Amino acid sequence: MAYYISNVEINLQMKKSILVLFSILVCSLALSQNLYFPPINNNLPWDTISPQNLGWCSNKIDSLYEYLQQENSKAFIVLKDGKIVLEKYFGQFTKDSVWYWASAGKSLTSVLIGKAKEDGILKLTDSTSKYLGPGWTAETRAEEGKISVWNQITMTSGLDDNVPDNHCTLDTCLRFLDNPGSRWAYHNAPYTLLEKVIESAAGMNINQYTQQKIKNQTGMTGAWFQTGYDNLFVSKARSMARFGILVQNKGKWANTTVLADTAYIRQMINSSQQLNKAYGYLWWLNGKGSYMVPTLQTVFPGSYAPDASSDMYAAIGKNGQILSISPSTGIIFVRMGNSTNAGEVPFQFCNQIWKRLNAVICQTTGTSRFQQDKLEIQLFPNPAKDQLNVVFAKAKASVEINIKDVLGRKIRHEIICGTSGLIDIKGMKPGFYILEYSSEKGSGSIKFQKE
């Protein structure tokens, strides 16, 4: 009998596991479907959603725009799950104007390297000399040969970034300082040479490769051009937003897989080494406990953008060119322009934008938030009239929702896939309700009011 009971228990566990896996699969499909992808044809409209429909504090938008204007912004876009919520252009700049990405273009290069790896035309472990030939640095051939493509995309080449011009790509400017992988330094020249690595591996120029591998599939426009030693990408603000959606959806654009190497994508937006935990493969990572900045070898405690979600990652460039992606909230923002106070990698500016954007999203008012469990639930607006926004900062696949009245009677049952969802409450009577939630990460309850 004991053996029989054991088998029954095992079978029940197997069924439960199958149901969980099925739920994860269904929710994974739903997440891809819920994320909106604008038409590849740029002449067709891009869907929008109003801040009011999201329960945001619309009265805070003007102060956000005033701050951006004070900082010489040219373009600002906020997306929620791919749809445009805010879009503002300043001065003579329009949605058809183009601007440079500066070092934010490094993150575009990272995806191109991932695509070249997936195409089998290069390996991250390859010596850079394989593509640039011997003598591309002032080091000995033995020292030079130790520098790999991986070192270039992680800023760990060991080359001296304290030369008079660390943008200089001439061999005389590329001098040995330390062994590759033993030192993190924000050195532009080794990064810039990744362009020639890609061109050598692909047998075509960088613009052709970008067009074939990313732009055709996503509707992005723009081009790389040379200025001094640097190779800059220029585009419309909406093209930067399109790139953000591609990365947010882990290399897929609607039904088209642009970059299928999920391992590379995961490595790209996670700590690539332990020297600067806030740096992936040419992406800046928030919430890693510490970070380093250009020109210094100091490790600073905390997050570089404490007002953003801990899972936020960003492409950040000089004068405040920023593409910031927050997976847990479904928010992407793009900022282009000039800012004399921004610097080479304007962390503080990125954080200030998030701080003001949080006020618009009603992170501190009109919101119910509960952070004492593993899921970190957020409800807004609260009170709510027609729709209730539910956000889980740390959900993975699905969360079961039950809404009960004050007498404990079940009113509604929902399954939320991923980190956020909308619950229709129009048919419910005004009053107070309890929202109970449960997933593999935890469970709990929170009260809200129906107007």
Q: Is residue 76 part of a domain?
A: yes
Percent of the chain with pLDDT over 70: 87
Say which range, 7-16, 205-214, 314-323, 407-416, has the weakest mean pLDDT. Answer: 7-16
What's the confidence (pLDDT) of residue 168?
A: 98
Is pLDDT above 70 for 299? Answer: yes
Q: Is residue 43 part of a domain?
A: no
Give the pairing of strands 321-326 and 313-317: antiparallel
Domain containing 377 equals 368-450
Confidence of residue 368 (pLDDT cuts 50, 70, 90): very low
Residue 256: φ, ψ to 5°:
-105, 125
Q: Are 73 and 336 in contact (CB under 8 A)?
A: yes
Q: What is the mean pLDDT of the chain?
A: 88
Q: Are residues 259 and 294 in the same domain?
A: yes
Query: Which of 138, 145, 142, 223 is closest to 189 using CA atoms?
Result: 138
Interval 199-243: pLDDT, tens? 999 999 999 999 999 999 999 999 999 999 999 999 999 999 999
Which CATH number goes with the domain that contains 373?
A: 2.60.40.3080
Say which range, 95-104, 285-294, 319-328, 431-440, has the weakest mean pLDDT. Answer: 431-440
Distance CA 73, CA 422 (A): 33
Q: Are residues 324 and 424 in the same domain?
A: no
Q: Are residues 339 and 397 in the same domain?
A: no
Place of tokens 């200025």: 227
Confidence of residue 374 (pLDDT cuts 50, 70, 90): low
Residue 266: φ, ψ to 5°:
-60, -45
Distance CA 14, CA 373 (A): 27
Q: Are 86 and 50 in contact (CB under 8 A)?
A: no
* Residue 250 one-letter amino acid: K
Exposed (0-12), middle (13-18) or buried (19+): which is 450, by Cβ within 10 Å?
buried
Q: Is residue 182 part of a domain?
A: yes
Q: Are residues 79 and 215 in the same domain?
A: yes
Q: Is residue 25 part of a domain?
A: no
Q: Where a domain ends, among 309, 336, 361?
A: 361
Taken in order 360, 364, 369, 374, the sign of the CA dihedral is positive
Q: Where a domain ends, among 361, 392, 419?
A: 361
Is pLDDT above 70 for 395? Answer: no
Q: Are 218 and 253 in contact (CB under 8 A)?
A: yes
Distance CA 272, CA 277 (A): 7
Kindly provide the b/e burial profile for residues 98-124, where b requires at least 16 CB atoms within 10 angstroms of the residue's own CB.
ebbbbbbbbbbbbbbbbbbbbeeebeb
Interval 251-285: pLDDT, tens? 999 999 999 999 999 999 999 999 999 999 999 99
Which CATH number goes with the domain that contains 305?
A: 3.40.710.10
Mean pLDDT for the stretch of residues 153-176: 97
Q: Residue 35 is encoded by which pair of tokens?
A: 């994320």
pTM of the predicted model as reported, rounded to 2 decimal places: 0.78
Distance CA 215, CA 111 (A): 12
Q: Are residues 185 and 267 in the same domain?
A: yes
Give strand ranges (E) for 15-154.
73-80, 83-89, 99-100
Q: Are residues 185 and 331 in the same domain?
A: yes
Higher pLDDT among residues 291 and 451, named by residue: 291
Determine if the peptide bond prior to 383 is cis (ω within 30°).
yes
Structural domain count, the chain: 2
What's the confidence (pLDDT) of residue 389?
A: 84
3-state secondary structure of 206: helix
Say which range, 225-239, 301-315, 329-343, has the weakest mean pLDDT. Answer: 329-343
What's the confidence (pLDDT) of residue 396?
A: 53
Interval 116-131: pLDDT, tens? 999 999 999 999 999 9
Angstrom distances, CA of residue 1 to CA of 8, 10, 14, 99, 191: 11, 14, 20, 74, 67
Q: Are residues 280 and 401 in the same domain?
A: no
Is pLDDT above 50 for 363? Answer: yes
Q: Is residue 412 part of a domain?
A: yes
Provide the 8-state DSSP code for 52: T
Interval 8-59: pLDDT, tens? 444 545 554 444 445 444 454 444 457 999 999 999 999 999 998 888 999 9
Helix, strand, coil % in the chain, rounded to nearest 5: 30, 25, 45
Q: Are residues 323 and 399 in the same domain?
A: no
What's the confidence (pLDDT) of residue 372?
A: 38
Q: Are residues 344 and 417 in the same domain?
A: no
Q: Are residues 427 and 331 in the same domain?
A: no
Q: Where a domain ends, among 333, 361, 389?
A: 361
Q: Is residue 1 part of a domain?
A: no
Q: Are residues 399 and 323 in the same domain?
A: no
Mean pLDDT for the stretch of residues 186-195: 98
What's the confidence (pLDDT) of residue 417?
A: 79
What's the confidence (pLDDT) of residue 30?
A: 47
Alpha helix (H) residue ranges in 332-446: 347-361
Place of tokens 């692909």: 202
Interval 51-105: pLDDT, tens? 988 889 999 999 999 999 999 999 999 999 999 999 999 999 999 999 999 999 9
What's the confidence (pLDDT) of residue 1?
A: 38
Q: Are residues 372 and 357 in the same domain?
A: no
Is pLDDT above 50 for 194? Answer: yes
Q: Is residue 95 part of a domain?
A: yes
Q: Is residue 3 part of a domain?
A: no
